[in-house]
Chain A
Amino acid sequence: MDGKTRLEKMFEGLGGRPALIGFHTAGFPDRNASLRICRFLLEKCDALEVGIPFSDPVLDGPVIQQSSFRALRAGFRPRHIFSLVGELRKASDKPVLIMTYYNPVHRMGHGPFCEAAAEAGADGILIPDLPPEEMGDWRETANRHGMAVILFASMTTPDERLRELGGLTQGFLYCLAVKGTTGLRESLSRELAPFLEKARRLCSQPIVAGLGISKPEQCQEVGRLVDGVIVGSALVKAALDAVIAGEDPAIAVSALAAQMHEALCSG
């Protein structure tokens, strides 16, 4: 490595346009199909988040809940994430991030989890239910293994705390675009633009918005205010719909990602 992380290189190489970061639930609809979906997504997106399915996805709306339950029912186990990331790393040099609830990490142990993630070739780990106050040695452990610890900011976050989170986060600050769970939204919140502008002002790291951003037009609209956009439920829903219709979910997902990418490029 030349000292720069894959995430840094990604943001530098965008030529001024915002990044598209896709999300997929690992193991949905099964291990092999999810690998194929992730590969297709990684081609269209600038980076990929893969989510570890969890029995109690409290922060997820119906779409990601359903994909998680199906992945678990199909036999996906948290440790399978590492072979999935490893396969993706063989195929691409784009950033790959692991998104997980805290309990599977807690259960495996900070050290072993980070070691396996690093060995697989992941670039960072996002744990939405692990705020900085509860991290213990998580940050040091993750950093020792070269994993970026990406933090979240919300519209409910007071200014002082927003500044702190902006200083602590690594790679980018994940700005939650809605108050609520993951899921598709018809329209964006009116509070969003002021929040993102404030985050930009208070944080020197790249600003990325995610949660509830579900259409190419929404990507374009939010993209003007941020360095990157994360799309989750909309892509997972495309996969779900394709699976139900007996079609190839990888093709459905990559078609939607391509539209979103185009919207961001022309924004």
Chain B
Amino acid sequence: MSKEKASPRDLPDARGRFGAFGGRFVPETLISPLEELEKAYREAWTDRSFREELDFYLRDYAGRPTPLYRAERLSRELRGATLFLKREDLCHTGSHKINNTLGQCLLARRMGKRRVIAETGAGQHGVATATAAALLGLECEVYMGEVDMERQALNVFRMELLGARVIPVRCGSRTLKDAVNEALRDWVTNVDHTHYCLGSVVGPHPFPTLVRDLQSVIGKETRRQHLERTGRLPDCLVACVGGGSNSIGLFHPFLDTGVRMVGVEAGGTGDDPGQHGSTLRLGSIGVLHGARSYLLQDDEGQVLETHSISAGLDYPGVGPEHAFLKESGRVEYVGVSDAEALEAVDLLCRTEGILPALESAHAVAYAARLAREMGKGASIVICLSGRGDKDVNTLMAARSRGGERGGEITAWADHDSPFPYNPDPPAPFRLPG
């Protein structure tokens, strides 16, 4: 029997493929452990007691459901569509990452693994893994690029407080990509007793599906909350895309609707290689970290260095389901520059009293532009995937560079900035609370 047109929500297929993307490009040593993981996950997902335990922790420990907040002042300032913020920044540990790590650590415990490892870029996934591991009594080690340890020093300390060991990664670009490499090397060595708690919808099958299913709680809640609030679905969803976990979590429950969806990648400082993390917008098809997807690579297949002011988007790969959604045209993928993201931080702080993570600020920046385009009466949901406390050092450094920022904007932008650059000297930054 052949289906005329399968819903994109039914993917992946039995081999872990989203159309031409995904799969399991791993060494033989990991084939059998990945099959075991897939089986354990399928069993757990249909086991009521597992789901109830996960729901319990998501509600009573992580603070779900998170609010869908109508950002009145922000909407008014932009004089356009109504903006809603899905407040994943209010989750325990400060980002959506906890949705995934609670699920995976419960699964690790169910599989009898006593140790979990993770990679982290911004440190949010590392903190969320360390948290879930502490909660469930698992040993935890986190790989983090040396560059990222510097720019996210606060999160390094948090992980250590939580009893995790943070292992600096000194090879390659010393960022997220190399942290994934090191975590894979650890996993292939210690696979008997270790679960790799992968933080995004990347990697070999079943990770892209497993992480998506755990993050889909974002979109399921959003759908229900928006319906309750307005009696209809939103017109547009906007989320940032590094590996793509918060975005797929928001988008997936809407895939079979007509709702417009926009994924926002790191535009960095320009479109030349090494200046950005715009994998879907500027990359090509390749195989990295166990899956076929889009990739920033040179013409001989070597992976390129990337840049973003936000560590969480500083990654040359992207989840295979996003590659599929790009090819099918269901989701638009765009870029937002470092400078625009910084402006969006200011904008959200000033109008709503919310300090977003630099990653999430990319989504805010593009949504601000869309709000003007789509105009009054339209409704846009932004996934505010994390809070910005971890970024204060980066923000302070950006502020002290001061006047450079105007230059950066004109050097990059091929469009007008969504909100005018304020030439007045900015007020000093203050931590909330």
Contact = CB atoms under 8 A, between A and B. Distances in A.
Contact of B31 (A61, A106, A107, A131): A131
B303 A181 contact: no
B32 A161 contact: yes
A48 interface: no
Nearest to B285: A106
Contact of A128 (B23, B27, B178, B189): B27
B29 A58 contact: no
A151 B295 CA distance: 26
B303 A108 contact: no
Nearest to B302: A55
Contacts of A65: 171
A104, A108, A151, A176: which has the most chain B beta carbons within 10 Å?
Answer: A104
A72 interface: yes
Interface stretch (B59-67, B286-294, B370-378): B286-294
A179 B286 CA distance: 26
Interface in A111-160: 128-131, 133-134, 151-158
B31 to A, nearest CB: 6
B300 A106 contact: no
B423 to A, nearest CB: 42
- Which secondary structure dominates chain B's binding surface? mixed
B191 interface: yes
B172 interface: yes
B171 A78 contact: no
Contact of B189 (A69, A157, A158, A180): A180
A37 to B, nearest CB: 22
Interface in B64-79: none
A158 to B, nearest CB: 6
A106 B189 contact: no
B28 A106 contact: no
A168 to B, nearest CB: 12
A55 B286 CA distance: 13
B287 to A, nearest CB: 5
A91 interface: no
A172 interface: no
Given A65-B171, A108-B300, A181-B185, A56 B290 contact: no
Given A156-B29, A180-B189, A181-B189, A129 B290 contact: yes
6 contacts: A55-B303, A58-B184, A72-B302, A154-B28, A179-B190, A180-B188
A-B pairs with lowest CB-CB distance, top 8: A107-B301, A180-B189, A104-B301, A154-B29, A152-B28, A154-B28, A55-B302, A103-B301
